[in-house]
A and B are shown apart, each in its own frame.
Chain A
Amino acid sequence: MRTISLLWACAPILLSGPALAGSLTGTVQSPGLRDGADAVVYIDQIAGQTFPAPAEHARIDQRNMVFAPHVLPVLIGTTVDFVNSDALLHNVFSPDKCAEKFNLGTWPKGESRSFTFKQPCAATLLCNVHPEMEAFVVAVPTPYFAVTDKSGAYTLAGVPDGTYTVKAWHPKRKEASAQVTVAGDTRMDFELKK
């Protein structure tokens, strides 16, 4: 009797197929910028859903006195390892409250320090040894995110059909937001203003 009840309760789930999923593609144009790279497009908080942070760490390299990548989107809760690949000392700190204004100190080549981004944040990363170095970690609430290429193109793959708030962020532009209904492969373009 108990088994029958359980089967009955699970019937809708067992009988229904996997949720339909498609992709959200488009471009982010930022007039006045050299190219369309480094914009982050992501699906904002989805009501009733949470996504566990990945166990695997993300990584930003400090090589040839440049942060690589320059812009790194991560799911909230992700730990990012900062690796020094240069034969000189580097530092990483953030002046942003949403990143707890962390300062990881200074470390030599081959070593790394880590920080976990626990809340939504577009964190500026700086190196106090080399003021010209700059990078950004954008911590977002869903795993549906992408960084644009030089043409401004992006693709969010595996997005379940549904209606979402999609945001586009760029370090030199105001963030834009739009409601998008994803049904299969869907297109959405943004233009970011200064």
Chain B
Amino acid sequence: MASPTMRLTCGAVLAVMVFFAADARSIPAWSRKYETSCSTCHAAYPKLNYFGKAFRNNGYRFPAGLEETAVKELPVSLGSEGYKKMFPRALWPSHIPGDVPLAVRGILRANSYEDASADSFEFPHEFELLGGGTLGETFSFFAEVEIENEDNENELGTVLALQYDPRPDLHVRVGTIRAHPIADGQRLTASHANPYDTRTTPGSLTLSVPNPNGSTATLSIPTTTGEDRWRFRDDSAGIEVWGARNGAGGNGGLTWSLGIVNGQGLNDANSDKDLFARVAYKFGGYGELGGGESPQTTEFWRDDSFKVGLFTYKGSSTNSYDGSVGALSGAPGSGLVQVSAAKVVENDFDNVGVEFDWWYKDLNLFGLYLQQSDDDPRGTGESIDTDAWFVEANYTFLPWLVGVLRYGQTQQDFGIRPDPETQEFLVPAVVVLARANVKAALEAQMRLDDPGKGHDAYVLSIDFAF
């Protein structure tokens, strides 16, 4: 149960953040490189605004060929332009960032639960070392080392990608790939959108094997899998070809992506590779590649526009389950013997879906619908159809105050069960930017379906980057 002390603390911290929400300044790696505020690219970090998307779509470069004039931190040359004339008898010229392009992000959380889970200060919840930039005219990179608290264990995660940017509208990315359409990493809440959290493959199975003592009762052996269980929001290792183009008049435009990834971590569990594709079109607003007139010149979070997109992901997962228990042997005098059980579950699955992203003045409404078909995720011959969707509203009351409301449903239709299961999620949150790079968010994570009731969670996140 949430204690009064915890709630009071959360309220007090939030009040302090509101009080000090005045000046806006930030200095992560790109802020340093361009000597500009976080809000140049972020509506409320880490959520990108129209310019941040155009910056990303240009391969982490300023739009419309303005990169050279925009860079304030001069790069170090690894060879002058004239060496292009010498190629292949010389190295192709390039440059590296003038300073080490690193930034730090820290996230602290205070968690309070409606059920018996222990309220806790999770200080820190996460520490991130972020790096990104360009390597000459046609390469760029992004890197992240992330240490995250997971049940009092520090989990280490890494993101590393090198991108080839032969043209502003074409990129080839090798390394860590994010296949899902609405970037999970840009969410304003601690909780993830429910369609991205679905795992149909179980972490453990109970397997039945003959009892060694010859009795008719079978032996039940709990087993677990060591392989990653596929989930849409997880990063994957692979290759992605993607691009963006402005629409008519330099507004809106097309974005597309094709990719091939492992699907189950850095060491894939099978040789089959997963494939994904995305395409979206933005009507109105700032151009996907930028360069045109900004539709809103006064507010950095506004971009009156509507975007709609389709996506698909076709994958296969393999999970091996192993376990053993001690059991009485049937042979006289043998006593206990270890009985093992193992099973390999191979599952093919398909995802298709549609996304939308609507910006109108201070309101941003976005969401997606995802349909996933698993042919045998539990190794029982049972297929599972999953329908999941969410809609989220972000309203910017003031440049430093954003309201968030997300509702989502996940419905799973099991092949051999009569009734589908439906989970309902509601996440209201208030996000306060104390500075452009210091943020607090108070969030409720609620379940509206009967099995989920009584397990609401309340999270106060404090997030800063430099």
Contacts and interface: CB of A to CB of B under 8 A. Distances in A.
Interface of A: 31-34, 95-96, 124-126, 131-134, 171-172, 194
Given A131-B91, A131-B93, A32 B68 contact: yes
A126 B66 contact: no
Size category, B interface:
10 to 19
B80 A131 contact: yes
Contacts of B91: 131
B77 interface: yes
Nearest to B95: A132
B85 interface: yes
B86 interface: yes
B68 A126 contact: no
Contact of A95 (B64, B79, B85): B85
B215 interface: no
Interface of B: 64-66, 68-69, 76-83, 85-86, 90-91, 93
B81 A134 contact: yes
Given A96-B85, A124-B85, A133 B65 contact: no
Contacts of A194: 65
Contacts of B80: 126, 131-134
A131 B321 CA distance: 56
Contacts of B64: 32
Nearest to B64: A32
Nearest to A131: B79
Given A126-B80, A131-B77, A131-B90, 13 more contacts: A31-B65, A32-B64, A34-B69, A95-B82, A95-B85, A124-B85, A126-B82, A131-B83, A131-B91, A132-B77, A132-B78, A133-B80, A134-B82
B69 A32 contact: yes
B68 A34 contact: yes
A126 B80 CA distance: 8
Contacts of B65: 31-32, 194
A133 B86 CA distance: 14
Contacts of B85: 95-96, 124
Contact of B69 (A33, A96, A125, A133): A33
A131 B92 CA distance: 10
Contacts of A124: 81-82, 85
A33 B79 contact: no
A131 B81 contact: no
